[in-house]
Structure 1
Amino acid sequence: MLAGKHILLIIGGGIAAFKSLDLIRRLRERGATVTPVLSRAGEEFVTPLSVSALAGQKLYRDLFDLGDEAEMGHIQLSRVADLVVVAPATADLMAKMAGGMANDLASTLLLATDTPVMIAPAMNVRMWEHAATQRNLATLRGDGIAVVGPNDGDMACGEFGPGRMSEPLEIVAAIEAQLNDGPLKGRRILVTSGPTYEPIDPVRYIANRSSGAQGAAIASALAALGAEVVFITGPADVPPPRGVEVVPVETALQMQEAVDAALPADAGVFAAAVADWRVTTASDRKLKKSKDGLPLLEFAENPDILKTVSHMASGRPKLVVGFAAETNDVIDNATAKRLRKGCDWIVANDVSPGTGIMGGGENAVTLISDAGEEEWPRMAKDQVAKKLAARIAEALT
């Protein structure tokens, strides 16, 4: 809960600003005090009266308001909160933050604050994917700004893709994780999860039976301990956890790109079941039966994400955790994999069909490290996740 916490909420100018009204309500339900700052562009989408009424607090709008400056100057306003939240964070606001601009109240508060900042980006998909926005995002992350979203979805402009602002409850969960004084507070942890899909043609692909349940549980458990979690997930059966930054991917190559973009991190947990191979001759049309016989598929090896990160010359996470899903000689194969990949820990499990583990709700793992083998009893996957998260917290503190 957020009882006693003070949130300074900056509302940017975008259609997603309407979600800020529900966000205020959700935060207040949990006991938080919300001081709203409405940008001039934000006033085009929500009214000052509605924002102030829902917050139950005075609304701040103008950098040069004589009364506001006499009562609570912008410097003081920027420093009295436990967390500054920008929702929606438009491309313009992100650019101002990355460039250190201060030409209105919102950007001035963000430049003057010594309080942690979280942004919830929202913009057109092309604006989100533009190189300038991605450069600004990398700069903000490097400056320690927490990011929640954006999600994939339909846009008000009629397009579809990443750029849709996270839902209010997702932002609330991220705020709760950010303000959690757990042992991983201030730590950034990367988690990969789920399967990858390697296309053969537009309707067929190579995949595996991973549900993504264990990776999602690990991300949730790490966030509950206060970590800032970047969750890179393939097409999983389970929904992603709240309170983490979700990066959806499909292929191994896309997952590699997402991992590169998410670094640096204090730890990396590579729970994804990444396909070892991809089809180099994937067709852009559905393959048809032919009198000429079976189609010829040529394969190429996918990038070894775990090995690549484990052997980084600079910027390697302090702790790199891999997973070994085996069907025979589990411990021997997993031990050899840890040495071959160069990771610090390997979480090994038996995914033979008879175990019911792959796609099921339970797991039985052995944690392998330099210290040896530690066998854990069979338990629910969320319990495995909590136990692993606690061990990661011990290793990082």
Structure 2
Amino acid sequence: MLKGKFILLGVTGSIAAYKACELTRLFKKRGAYVQVVMTESACKFVAPLTFQILSENPVIKDMFKEPSNWEVEHVSLADKTDIFVIAPATANIIAKLASGIADDMLTTTFLATKATKIIVPAMNVNMYENPITQRNINILKKNGCYVIEPDEGFLACGKVGKGRFPAPEDIIDYVEKVAVKQEDLKGIKILITAGPTREYFDPVRFISNRSSGKMGYKIAEAALERGAEVALISGPVSISPPEKLHLFHKVETAEEMKNKVNELFQWADVIIKAAAVSDYRPKHKSEHKIKKSDEEIVIELVKNPDILKELGEKKGEKILVGFAAETDLPEGNAREKLIKKNLDMIVLNDVTKQGAGFEVDTNIVKILYKSGKIEEFPLLSKKEVAHLILDRIKAILKERA
């Protein structure tokens, strides 16, 4: 699974640094190209020469050494890397990465690369459980990093608890699973809708909702990481689309979104309707800005087209995934929507719960299926939720195949 992959292994100043030597050997054994980058404090625990021999590459540690060519080293490294593994990762380096500090070769490359990032914390149990460290780990997770939980047991400091460096074989297995995910949706065409719609009643005013588009954009980002071809249709949001999208269209109204979805319907194998489309629009739109007066005004609303229902009626063998943002009777309403709109599955979130719903980077979801099965998940980053959804889609594809 790792043959031909360029793995950048970051080693930091933990007593567990010596275990990264075995990790380097195992990466090489699995066919990976390994480049080790060490922090200054890591060099106090293990000599760089050890990693140089095991990796068969010079170890990078000095950001200001005389360059051997005209490449900016941390940028060229960042561009070449497929997977960036930091193992062991100290509380200090985790805090730096979470804060965006770039004061050495490891942290600078971390900021510059778009490679998959895997963090392996190893430290004293009290440091690991400290709320500040946990906050920093959560920031990294929210920003798309994978974090391998440390083991529990006897620690170098003499205490017993969580903070041990995992077995190198377990880390390798985890990295391989991530590497497989990078291409497990290759050849699959996924159409995703995201964000709100705006329904205008004069040239400057509109009816809309609180959707930020974050969930849909994270699904698009995760699908691209896993090798899918992705088309994203987005309502007005303030976030930038992921790079390497197959197609990207911006729309404003429900009608515009419907037209674009229909245009791309035949192209897609999977359709994920994460957009919060307005159910109603003003019946009449004024050609000019409505001026304020002492009189009350009444805006008459009419129903917007039900895009999801229309897709369900013609989907055939395509996989159709819907979303339900609910405030009361969530499961009942989601189940009704699942059946009524002929969905393969529906992602439910109760937006009254803290950390779920609009404008935040986390979500608490349940996934409901036609069979009656319900999967319930804890508070996760929207990127983690995105991968969960794609895992379930992959399972449906595999079952049908």
TM-score by length of 2: 0.53
2:292 is aligned with 1:289? yes
| Partner secondary structure for residue 253 of structure 1 | helix
5+ long unaligned stretches in structure 2: 6-74, 82-180
5+ long unaligned stretches in structure 1: 5-25, 33-179
2:293 is aligned with 1:277? no
Give 2:384's aligned residue: 383
2:373 is aligned with 1:370? no
Cα pair 1:267 1:317 within 8 Å, conserved: no
Give, in whole Å, the separation in 2 of the partners of 1:316 and 1:287. 45
Give 2:233's aligned residue: 232
Deviation at 1:287, TM superposition (A): 0.3
Deviation at 1:296, TM superposition (A): 3.0
* Counterpart residue identity of residue 301, structure 2: F
* Counterpart residue identity of residue 225, structure 2: A
Deviation at 1:367, TM superposition (A): 0.3
| Partner secondary structure for residue 339 of structure 1 | helix
Deviation at 1:272, TM superposition (A): 0.3
Change (3 A) 1:357 1:181: closer
Give 2:393's aligned residue: 392
Give 1:109's aligned residue: none
Give, in whole Å, the separation in 1 of the partners of 2:335 and 2:291. 43
Give, in whole Å, the separation in 1 of the partners of 2:338 and 2:78. 47
Give 1:71's aligned residue: none
Give, in whole Å, the separation in 1 of the partners of 2:317 and 2:364. 26
Please list the CA deviations of residues 110-167 of structure 1 after superposition, one character each: whole Å capped at 9, or x if unmatched.
Answer: xxxxxxxxxxxxxxxxxxxxxxxxxxxxxxxxxxxxxxxxxxxxxxxxxxxxxxxxxx
Q: Which structure 1 residue ranges, 4+ long, deviate > 4 Å from structure 2?
A: 26-32, 353-356
Give 2:86's aligned residue: none
Give, in whole Å, the separation in 2 of the partners of 1:28 and 1:246. 29
Give, in whole Å, the separation in 1 of the partners of 2:218 and 2:358. 14
Deviation at 1:354, TM superposition (A): 4.8
2:354 is aligned with 1:351? no
Cα pair 1:268 1:317 within 8 Å, conserved: no
Give, in whole Å, the separation in 2 of the partners of 1:385 and 1:279. 33
| Partner secondary structure for residue 311 of structure 1 | helix
Deviation at 1:28, TM superposition (A): 12
Instruction: Note the 1:294-305 alignment, pairs <5 A.
Output: 294-305=296-307
Give 1:199's aligned residue: 200
Give 1:253's aligned residue: 255
Give, in whole Å, the separation in 2 of the partners of 1:27 and 1:297. 58
Cα pair 1:213 1:237 within 8 Å, conserved: no
**2:269 pairs with one of 248, 266, 271:** 266
Please list the CA deviations of residues 233-270 of structure 1 after superposition, one character each: whole Å capped at 9, or x if unmatched.
Answer: 10123222222121110000000000011121111000
2:328 is aligned with 1:325? no
Deviation at 1:310, TM superposition (A): 0.8
Cα pair 1:196 1:252 within 8 Å, conserved: yes
Change (3 A) 1:294 1:27: farther
The structure with the larger Rg is 2
| Partner secondary structure for residue 184 of structure 1 | coil
Give, in whole Å, the separation in 2 of the partners of 1:343 and 1:356. 22
| Partner secondary structure for residue 262 of structure 2 | helix
Give, in whole Å, the separation in 2 of the partners of 1:392 and 1:286. 46
Please list the CA deviations of residues 295-324 of structure 1 after superposition, one character each: whole Å capped at 9, or x if unmatched.
Answer: 232221111111111111xx6452100000
Deviation at 1:394, TM superposition (A): 2.2
Deviation at 1:356, TM superposition (A): 5.1
* Counterpart residue identity of residue 388, structure 1: I
Give, in whole Å, the separation in 1 of the partners of 2:216 and 2:376. 19
Cα pair 1:280 1:298 within 8 Å, conserved: yes
TM-score by length of 1: 0.53
Cα pair 1:198 1:275 within 8 Å, conserved: yes
Cα pair 2:254 2:304 within 8 Å, conserved: yes
Cα pair 1:195 1:209 within 8 Å, conserved: yes
Cα pair 1:338 1:344 within 8 Å, conserved: yes
**What is the aligned residue count?**
226
Please list the CA deviations of residues 171-191 of structure 1 after superposition, one character each: whole Å capped at 9, or x if unmatched.
Answer: xxxxxxxxx971211111110
Give, in whole Å, the separation in 2 of the partners of 1:353 and 1:201. 34
Deviation at 1:345, TM superposition (A): 0.5
Instruction: Note the 1:1-397 alignment, pairs <5 A.
Output: 30=79, 182-244=183-245, 245-264=247-266, 265-291=268-294, 293-312=295-314, 316=316, 318-352=318-352, 354-355=354-355, 357-371=357-371, 372-397=373-398
Change (3 A) 1:373 1:29: closer
Change (3 A) 1:256 1:381: same
Cα pair 1:233 1:272 within 8 Å, conserved: yes
Deviation at 1:224, TM superposition (A): 1.2
